[in-house]
Amino acid sequence: MSQVGTLYIVSAPSGAGKSSLINAFLAEKRDWQAQVSISHTTRAPRAGEVDGQHYHFVSTETFKKLIAENAFFEWAEVFGNYYGTSRIAIEEALTKGIDVLLDIDWQGARQVRKMLPEAKGIFILPPSRKELEARLNTRGQDSKEIITKRMEQAQSEMSHYDEYDYLIINDNFKCATEELSAIVKAQRNKQAKQTLKHQTTIKELLAQ
C-alpha cells in the first residue's frame, strides 16, 4: 500500500470526551483532508444517530458474514454488541493522502497495529474518576446499571494507556482539542511526508 495519509487510533474510556474531541478537530479548517472512520455495529441507534453517518448499523447475522469475508480491518465484541472497521475503506483513504481517525478500544487497537504498525495511537483520559462518572450521568443515555458497568470497564481500559504513542488528559476541552490538532500537524510535517508533498520544490532547491 502506497500510504500517504496517517491512521490515528483514538481510544478512551466511555465518557472521556473522545467523540467530542474528534468532532471538534474535524471541524477545524486545514489544507489537507481528515476524516473519521465510520464503523459497523450491531447495536441499536441512539437518539439522533444516522445510519451511514455515525455508524453503519447492521444485524448480527450480516456482521458475522462480513467477518467471514475478511471485510474488517479490526472487529470486537463490546457490551454484547459487535463493532468493526472496513479494511478497504481505510486503505483507500490513506492512499489518497487522507488522515483517518479510528475510534476504537485498546483491543481493536492491538489488532490494527498488527496489520498496520505505522498507525499512531492516541489515548484520551478524563481528569478524574469522579468527573468521568459525572459525565456518564450527564449524558442521560444509559441506566444506572449500565453506568456502573462502564465505570468498572473504564478501570481496565485506562490501564492500557501506555500502549499508545500520545496521551491527552481531557480536563479543559479547548486545550485538549489543540493538543489533538498539534499531534496530527506534527505528523504531517515529518520529513518523509513533507518530502513526498514538496518533491518538486526540493528537487529545484537542490539542483546543481
- Per-residue pLDDT of 119-146, as tens digits, reads 999 999 999 988 888 888 776 667 778 8
Give yes or no for residue 3 having a pLDDT over 70. no
192 vs 204: CA distance, rounded Å:
17
Q: Which of 92, 90, 99 is CA-nearest to residue 122?
A: 99
Residues 6+ apart with CB under 8 A from 180: 21, 22, 25, 122, 168
What confidence score (pLDDT) does residue 1 get? 44
Which structural domain, as residue segments, surrounds residue 31?
Answer: 7-37+98-206
208 vs 194: CA distance, rounded Å:
21
Is 51 among the domain residues?
no
Domains contained in the chain, number: 1
The CATH number of whichever domain residue 183 belongs to comes to 3.40.50.300
Q: Full-prediction pTM beyond 0.85?
A: no
Is 76 among the domain residues?
no
Buried b / exposed e over 73-90, threshold 16 CB at 10 Å, is bbbbeeeeebbbbbbebb
